[in-house]
Amino acid sequence: GLDTKAPDLIQRRKDWNTTAPAAHALPTEIWRETIARHQRCHELRKKLRAGEVKEPADLVTHNLDIRQFVQDVIANAPADLALALWKSLRSLSVLDPTCGSGAFLFAALEILEPLYEGLLERLRALLADWQAAGEKHPVWEKEIKAILDAVTRHPNESYFIHKTIIIHNLYGVDIMEEAVEICKLRLFLKLAAQLEPGQPIEPLPDIDFNVRAGNTLVGYASCDEIKRAFTEAGGSGQGLLQGIETSLDDYTRIMEQAEDADRAFKRFQALQDTTGQNASEFRTAKDALEKRLKALRSQLDRFLAGQYDQKNLKSDATFQKWKNSHEPFHWFVEFYGIMNAGGFDVIVGNPPYIVYPAKVSYELRSECFNTLECKNLYGIVFERSARLVKNNSWFGLIVQMTLMSAGKMEILQDYLLENSRLHLSPFPRRPESMFDGVEMPVAIGICSPKNEKTPLYSTSRVGRIYGVERATVLDTTKFFEHDVRIQGSRIGKLGSKLEKSIFKRLRQEGSLNIGALASKSEKHRVFYQEACRYWLKASHRQPYFKRNGEVILPPHGRTIFFRNPNAAAYTACLLNSSLFYWFYSSFSDCEHVNDEIVRFWNPAVDWESIDWQKLADGLVNSLEANATEKTINTKQGHKIEYHEIKASSSKPLIDQIDTLLAEHYGFTEEELDFIINYDIKYRMGLSGGSAGEEAGDA
């Protein structure tokens, strides 16, 4: 526990909160961060020497440079491995299911390009080594020379690589046809930019069948879905397709047509790998493919409309209206070869954050999705991605941080955890957002194959940043494996064993929660602000707030009533503490505090042994003394007078409260030091930032 007689660890580390010199630090780093980064580096080297990094998930969990790892493997690969890597890379399918104008496909291209370059360099080196040594490897030499000859038939190596990636690796779908056209145009321009002055422009590849317009969430995603549609109802051969007689023979016919279309696609794709192809032959191949796909789409659109509503089949007009609003996209036909082989190898993207069904014009069938109750398209796209990706493959999306904390996302969390581990990196929007122009808290969510030997979650701590830190924040993010999820849907944003240890100390057996201290009597109350960035504002007194001269409680806040004044004072101290700020940050959306998370708190079993009223009075006196009186006139004609609190000026008193709480919970000095200095750079405006206050908070 906390040894108050030992040399004061916090005092010894006081200089750790000063800006580290540029020779040692990354932009805006304070010594506390620099030291932690170096410690992590030593820990990683120790794990690598001990052979503890054994599989791809370990590379992610330890946040190692996977691309550099692969490039190192390529640089020393023997011939059989190099050729196997080439074949795997060329067949790798990367999908963005809501691709928009193609930002994530471009990112995938940038990652794949140096891998292709490294492999071509390695293949040339192998041939040169064999020639110098007089070695003969006829089978390998034949394969390698065929690859290198293909490169020479193109204007230059960079053009060949980009063309190969665009044709063979990148796939996208988006409901906005204009966005799809922009995406394809950007890829074409990127390819054309690889030409050097004076080099002739060969016909650009046609990727109309790689990047396509349609509704990711409406349509048959797999062979199993269409088979069920043909066979599940009745027992007499009439399937789910209302008004249409169907049987397994119809299913077989559809699958044969899909296979024919896939063969046509492969022929069309092979033509694009060649140079100087006949334009007429190319056009004929494309027309044949489009004709086959169009026939399949027409049948499946009708079948699907019938599953939605039999009335859709009564006239061409009603069917067309349904089709225009739903824009169906049948994955198992449009990407038959990939889906028939098990799915895409990688899925990445940033799906829309849109409330469902209120903000969309189409309906999703409950039989097709488990996650409709998430009430947000990003959750449903996550489920769709899980079904489109190949078994034992990885997929990841950038979504709202509510994925980690909202009650309505519990069903999505449970769905993903059935077959996956979750790797989660949360980023609030203050002081600045992780992604420029995205003004909301987000989380990078990655699903990897489930391993029963490891915990369900691998998370980083809350990732607050200044804008200049964007370039390095992902490289320095530290992940921690754990199994902490509270209240069904709040996954802990924990980044170390120390944080989990603190959490475990807070969950003392036999202790009551704050809710048990509450009372229906309105005599002893605590008011707290719902909005919270860096400081939670709470008071056991009436906050200063007037509207048109009348004293009222500030809006956008909550009140809890308690059974005695000491319980109210304890809660006021707690809510202002850095300990509760850490708890709130670790289990909320990093934007709002509510009764659910406040009442969940467990006071230490001996919390009543302290006179909290004296501490609460002193803190509130300090907050009020450091506050600035503000007056504003609203658009509604009201005159508002309030105190703008500057909690950072009362940090020494808050530290006293945290020290007492630490003693009661049995914290170590290391744990107390962590809590007192949690988010210190942003809360206190260190390294050139401004103090983390919320303007306008009462």
Number of other CB atoms surrounding residue 587 within 10 Å: 23
Query: What pLDDT does 130 receive?
Result: 96
Q: Among 263-267, 383-387, 684-688, 690-694, which is the least confidently predicted range?
A: 690-694
Cα–Cα distance for residue pair 109/116, rounded to 1 Å: 10
Report which DSSP code applies to 12: H
Rounded alpha-carbon distances, angstroms, from residue 463 to 130, 433, 536? 50, 10, 18
Max CA pair span of the chain? 96
Q: Residue 129 has what pLDDT?
A: 96
Residue 521: the pLDDT is: 85
Report the pLDDT averaged over residues 399-428.
Answer: 96
Question: What is the residue-averaged pLDDT of the chain?
Answer: 90
Q: Which pLDDT belongs to residue 572?
A: 97
Q: For residues 426 and 598, what is the distance between their CA atoms, to the nearest angstrom? A: 21
pLDDT of residue 220: 93
Residue 208: pLDDT over 50: yes
- pLDDT band of residue 502 (cuts 50, 70, 90) is very high
Token pair for residue 83? Answer: 């050729």
- What is the rounded average pLDDT of the residues 498-521? 89
More confident of the two residues 266 and 48: 48
Predicted local distance difference test score (pLDDT) of residue 644 = 92
Q: Is the peptide bond before 431 cis (omega within 30 degrees of 0)?
A: yes
Burial of 534 (C-beta count, 10 Å sphere; 0-12/13-18/19+) = buried
**Residue 695: pLDDT above 50?**
no
At 422 the pLDDT is: 95
Q: What is the pLDDT of residues 566-577, one digit of tens each?
A: 999 999 999 999
pLDDT at 445 over 80: yes
How far lies 383's CA from each of 301, 488, 535, 599, in Å? 22, 19, 36, 32
Q: Is pLDDT above 60 for 247?
A: no
Q: Which two tokens stand for residue 241?
A: 């397709």
Question: What are the residues whose beta carbons fall under 8 Å from the beta carbon of 379, sequence distance 6 or more?
Answer: 371, 399, 403, 409, 412
Average pLDDT over residues 502-522: 87
From residue 612, alpha-carbon distances to 401, 467, 514, 581, 692 in Å are 35, 40, 15, 19, 26
Mind listing the pLDDT tens digit for each residue in 126-172?
A: 999 999 999 999 999 999 999 999 999 999 999 999 999 999 999 99
Name the percent of the chain lying above pLDDT 90. Answer: 72
How far is 398 from 424, CA to CA, in rounded Å? 10
Length of the chain equals: 698
Question: Which has the higher per-residue pLDDT, 400 or 695?
Answer: 400
Residue 238: pLDDT band by 50, 70, 90 thresholds?
very low
* Confidence class for position 453, pLDDT limits 50, 70, 90: confident
> Distance between CA 338 and CA 265 in Å, rounded?
11
Average pLDDT over residues 299-305: 87
Residue 242 has pLDDT above 50, yes or no: no
- Rounded distance between C-alpha atoms, residue 576 and residue 616, angstroms: 9
Of 177 and 304, more confident: 177
Predicted model pTM: 0.91
Q: Considering only CA atoms, give the Rg of the chain.
A: 30
pLDDT at 367 over 90: no
pLDDT score for 235: 37
pLDDT digits (tens, 9 = 90+) for 313-323: 678 888 899 99
SS3 567: helix
Q: What is the mean pLDDT of residues 616-637?
A: 95
Determine the average pLDDT of the residues in 211-218: 96
Phi and psi dihedrals of 476, rounded to 5?
A: -100, 0
Cα 663 to Cα 655: distance, rounded to the nearest angstrom: 12
| Average pLDDT, integer, range 10-22 | 92
**How far is 491 from 443, CA to CA, in rounded Å?**
12
Question: With 60 as the cut, is the pLDDT of residue 1 above it?
Answer: no
**Best-predicted range by mean pLDDT among 436-440, 446-450, 585-589?**
585-589
What letter would DSSP give residue 233?
Answer: S
For residue 346, pLDDT over 80 is answered with: yes
Cβ–Cβ under 8 Å, residues 334 and 215: no
Q: Do 213 and 175 meet the contact criterion of CB atoms below 8 Å apart?
A: yes
Which of 93-102, 297-306, 342-351 has the least mean pLDDT? 297-306
Sheet-wide strand order for 557-562: 538-539, 524-529, 557-562
Give bridge partners of residue 346 from the DSSP assignment: 94, 394
**How many angstroms separate the Cα of 684 from the Cα of each of 18, 365, 555, 621, 691?**
11, 50, 26, 20, 5
Query: CB of 692 within 8 A of CB of 678?
Result: no
Q: How far apart are CA 654 and CA 681, in angstroms?
A: 16
Predicted confidence (pLDDT) at residue 203 exceeds the cutoff of 80: no
pLDDT (average), residues 73-83 = 96
